[in-house]
Structure 1
Amino acid sequence: MKYARALPAYMVQRYHGWKATTFAENEAWYARLASEGQRPRAFIISCCDSRVHVTSIFGADQGEFFIHRNIANLVPPFVDDGDHHGTSAAVEYAVTALKVAHIVVLGHSNCGGVKGCHDMCSGNAPELEQKSSFVGRWMDILRPGYERVLDIPEEDRTRALEHEAVLVSLENLMTFPFVQEAVAANKLTLHGLWTNIGDGDLQQYDAETKKFVSV
């Protein structure tokens, strides 16, 4: 592949630093992870945003979380067409192969994908309306959430839509037959979270009050 190039120097330096410290000090643990395979307790679906560092938020070690990241932490509804579905494949593997006990959908403040959805649905991002826009077609998943926030004051609408990105994903998770079965059998629980990047607040969705509350 002629377009592949060597890593930037700063990444190489950071790797060697990690190998000489963190890895060297825990070499037996890494060997055990490699030989015994992974047994994560939770599957985390979070945004690609570089500011959202899932393992740091929860102080997780290697092997503890199975993590899937995509634009705006969205889960599409279940479809049985055998096409390429990266997020759906991750859900299937987490539930049926790894048998995780928890699925966590983690949204966040100032999400660019959610803002793009808001702009697109409100007619202010025609480029995302194009059929050729991968981002636009992905953000179509969130259109039902946009419809639910139209009666909210405009200055609060984007934050509400960030919450809807979590709720729409939870709703869509329950369209997967194997997720339904695991939940019904009390082998799997679903959780909706939202984090404020600026102040570190973490909120969870309370199904009884239908609100996000600080944990």
Structure 2
Amino acid sequence: MPMHRFPDHLLKGHANFMAGRYAREKDRIRDLASEGQKPSTMIIACCDSRAAPEMIFDAGPGELFVLRNVANLVPTYQPDAGQHGTSAAIEFAVKALGIANIVVMGHGRCGGIKAALDAKFSPLDEGDFIGKWMSMLGDLPEQLGQNTLLTDGERQRAMERISIRNSIRNLRTFPYVAELEAAGNLQVHGAWFDISTGELWVMDSDSGDFVRPEI
């Protein structure tokens, strides 16, 4: 097997981190190393490199517990499903870290959502992991696709937001999430980030509508 050099841009980035942020926040980072993490908020976000929660929320080390997967999906509670990274992360955040807030955050121009809406989508590989993962949405993409009055862009944005509501519904099938939320010890939120404008839209807990928050 040929030898490969570690990517230069990552090495330079780490050097900048050590000279900049690490130097400024050295004491805080060392405290986190010795005392452990105590974030109050979990963000379930997409893998998309343009929608990094730490950047969007200007968060420092130890402030957010971040889970990222394709299209920020949450499965239903399935103890016998075998290996499941998303469910494991939720379990750890809630049961071990005592998270007070869980935010399911989608974003505009999501590739996973686009694939789910594309009736002619061809698997990238014979394993079709993307297709199987996005099947978690059930027939929601098909239902939305039947509305011929929507443009492709409108359909995609609607599906991105519907998917967030669907993931929140699935999240509440986790017994400990439902129990803690009912007791007022955990809050579940939805959010949608516009990559182009940088705008954040949050889901109203009563109506389910996405609105621009007032600070």
TM (norm. structure 1) is 0.91
- Number of residue pairs matched? 210
In 2 relative to 1, CA 210–23 (structure 1 residues): closer, same or farther, beyond 3 Å?
closer
1:187 aligned residue: 185
1:93 aligned residue: 92
Unpaired stretches in structure 1, ≥5 consecutive residues:
none
Moved more, 179-188 or 130-139: 130-139
Moved more, 6-15 or 141-150: 141-150
The superposition leaves residues 68-93 of structure 1 with CA deviations (integer Å, 9 ceiling, x where unpaired) of 00000000111121510000000100
Moved more, 52-61 or 134-143: 52-61
Task: Decide whether the 8 Å contact of 2:101 with 2:186 is kept in 1.
Answer: yes
Aligned partners of 2:117 and 2:70: how far apart in 1?
Answer: 14
Moved more, 102-111 or 181-190: 181-190
SS of the equivalent of 2:123 reads: helix
SS of the equivalent of 2:92 reads: helix
Moved more, 177-186 or 187-196: 177-186
Task: Decide whether the 8 Å contact of 1:52 with 1:197 is kept in 2.
Answer: yes
Aligned partners of 2:113 and 2:80: how far apart in 1?
Answer: 27
Deviation at 1:126, TM superposition (A): 4.2
TM (norm. structure 2) is 0.91
1:124 aligned residue: 120
2:211 aligned residue: 213
Task: Decide whether the 8 Å contact of 1:131 with 1:137 is kept in 2.
Answer: no
Unpaired stretches in structure 2, ≥5 consecutive residues:
none
Question: Which of 115, 123, 142 pairs up with 2:137?
Answer: 142
2:32 aligned residue: 33
Aligned partners of 2:33 and 2:131: how far apart in 1?
Answer: 39
The superposition leaves residues 4-58 of structure 1 with CA deviations (integer Å, 9 ceiling, x where unpaired) of 8441112111211211222122211111010110000100000000000211211
In 2 relative to 1, CA 109–134 (structure 1 residues): closer, same or farther, beyond 3 Å?
same
2:168 aligned residue: 170
